[in-house]
């Protein structure tokens, strides 16, 4: 459970280099809601997170998860989001795909 | 030293440290990360070598022997040894990271990391054996 210490933001070199990057803790939180079956906002979140400032800014340095004192593993969450985002994009290419 | 505050969509305003150009030298794990990113250059190089090899194989026996002679020169051997080292580093580090990206659930339970990384290694071995068989036996 994230305690909002933002150590992951301090450990992430991308945060320093790319001012617009949404960052590890926020994306990990978004992932947490995706896995909550009472939540309906996965598509809306994915739209924002697969944009320019989202998951693709992450180059998987992995230091956010190293720094996390509560073992939240934001790096893992971002990589899983990338997989979800990539599958979602492939789905739009298919003739029977949504959107 | 902090950068002047700027307003962006997802961070209305916040305190930020300026990152040095040499940030990747400040910590061992950052350096390993940058080296891992650099391995992609050698992956591209290996792919180019393979295409070159296929092209000369298609051009005939003489062209292929010429290419082999050129690849046997010390400069190419050193380049290939360095490229191989980077390629192994690339493959091993990425296979070890694969379980982070793939949270596979079967029957409500998450597949252990070791199984996901292990299946990548097995696929790697099988494909390498197939390529070796094609190159050596045929």
Rounded to two decimals, the ipTM of the complex is 0.78
- Res B137 pLDDT > 50: yes
State residue B19's pLDDT score: 79
Q: Is the pTM of this model over 0.90?
A: no
DSSP single-letter state for residue B130:
H
State residue B130's pLDDT score: 95
Q: Tokens in use for A10?
A: 């301090």
Q: What percent of chain A has pLDDT over 90?
A: 75
Contacts of B95 in chain A (CB under 8 A): none
**Phi/psi of residue B42, each to 5°?**
-75, -30
State residue B4's pLDDT score: 53
- Mean pLDDT score, B48-64: 89
State residue A81's pLDDT score: 94
**B28-59 helix and B74-101 helix, angle to the nearest 10 degrees:** 120
- Res A8 pLDDT > 60: yes
State residue A94's pLDDT score: 87
- Mean pLDDT score, B58-87: 92
Q: Could B8 and A76 be called an inter-chain contact, meaning their C-beta atoms sit closer than 8 Å?
A: no
Which pLDDT tens digit goes with each residue over A22-58?
Answer: 999 999 999 999 989 999 999 999 999 999 999 999 9
- Res B5 pLDDT > 90: no
Q: Which of B6, B30, B97 sits opposite A60 (nearest CB)?
A: B97
B105 burial type by CB count under 10 A (0-12 exposed, 13-18 middle, 19+ buried): exposed
The residue among A13, A37, A83 with the most chain B CBs within 10 A of its CB, best to mutate, is A13
- Res B138 pLDDT > 50: yes
Q: Which of A26, A63, A80 sits opposite B29 (nearest CB)?
A: A63
């Amino acid at each position: 459970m994230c305690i909002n210490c933002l150590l992951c933001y301090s450990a992430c070199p991308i945060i320093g280099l790319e001012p617009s990057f949404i960052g590890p803790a926020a994306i990990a939180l978004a992932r947490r809601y995706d896995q909550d079956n009472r939540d309906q906002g996965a598509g809306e979140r994915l739209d924002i997170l697969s944009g320019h400032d989202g998951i693709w800014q992450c180059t998987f340095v992995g230091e956010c998860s190293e720094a996390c004192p509560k073992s939240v593993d934001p790096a893992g969450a971002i990589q899983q989001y990338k997989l979800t985002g990539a599958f979602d994009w492939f789905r739009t290419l298919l003739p029977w795909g949504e959107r | 030293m902090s950068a002047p505050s700027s307003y962006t969509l997802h961070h209305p305003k916040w305190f930020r440290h300026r990152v040095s150009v040499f940030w990747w030298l400040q910590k061992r794990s950052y350096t390993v990360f940058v080296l891992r990113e650099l391995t992609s250059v050698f992956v591209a190089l290996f792919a180019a070598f393979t295409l070159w090899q296929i092209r000369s194989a298609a051009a005939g026996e003489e062209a292929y022997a010429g290419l082999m002679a050129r690849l046997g020169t010390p400069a190419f051997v050193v380049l290939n040894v360095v490229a191989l080292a980077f390629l192994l580093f690339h493959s091993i580090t990425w296979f070890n990271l694969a379980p982070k990206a793939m949270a596979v659930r079967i029957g409500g339970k998450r597949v252990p990391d070791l199984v996901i990384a292990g299946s990548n290694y097995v696929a790697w071995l099988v494909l390498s054996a197939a390529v070796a068989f094609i190159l050596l036996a045929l």
